[in-house]
Chain A
Amino acid sequence: NAGVTQTPKFQVLKTGQSMTLQCAQDMNHNSMYWYRQDPGMGLRLIYYSASEGTTDKGEVPNGYNVSRLNKREFSLRLESAAPSQTSVYFCASGRDRTQPQHFGDGTRLSIL
């Protein structure tokens, strides 16, 4: 009964490197989300996918891209990492856009 699984749990990158954060859910949810959480800022929405085949920008999309690979998987890509992207990244899923979201345990990303 995994729920939402995020990989990796920790990552250190150098400025300019690229990487993809992976997220998979096993609850047959339609909607998936990527957030970043920074001290004093709360959870900020980066991108979301209301249903398979669609993606939309959230509050802070600059510097990120996403792919809804199938109903289960939603990945977040940093093409050229910057120190300002140092954060904890959470993936979440919900049955639909109005239902509560269920979160993974996050990826802690440091960019030097």
Chain B
Amino acid sequence: QKEVEQDPGPLSVPEGAIVSLNCTYSNSAFQYFMWYRQYSRKGPELLMYTYSSGNKEDGRFTAQVDKSSKYISLFIRDSQPSDSATYLCAMSENTGNQFYFGTGTSLTVIP
């Protein structure tokens, strides 16, 4: 079983829709949680970073962490065609030396 599981999609939504992206994990020691966006032929770009449980909002993006369920989510409101990309979740332990990445969910927002 992988440390981090992420549905690869692809996910296709109309412009303006609310998008929900999710990851589950098995390691209860994970404390740091991140979401990255990766455009085609580019490196991953950090979108959101949270520590422990709770919600964090940044513009149209909201990250949620539910440690009791070992489940994290990224919500995108008023989705735009420029949001079309692959979204990667990542997490790490407090004392760890490495991050664990999901395989990514491919999102297309149709104008």
A residues with CB within 8 A of B? 4, 33, 40-43, 45, 48, 50, 56, 58, 90, 92, 97-98, 100-106
Contact A40 B8 (CB under 8 A): yes
| Chain-A contact segment, one of B13-21, B40-48, B75-83 | B40-48
Q: Which residues from chain A contact B45 at a C-beta distance below 8 Å? A: 103
Main DSSP-derived SS at the B contact region: loop
A103 to B98, CA, bound (A): 14
B residues with CB within 8 A of A? 8, 32, 34, 36, 41-46, 49, 88, 90, 92, 94, 96-99, 101-104
Contact B88 A42 (CB under 8 A): yes
Interface CB pairs A-B, < 8 A, 13: A4-B43, A40-B103, A42-B103, A43-B101, A45-B99, A90-B44, A97-B97, A98-B32, A98-B92, A100-B34, A101-B46, A103-B36, A105-B41
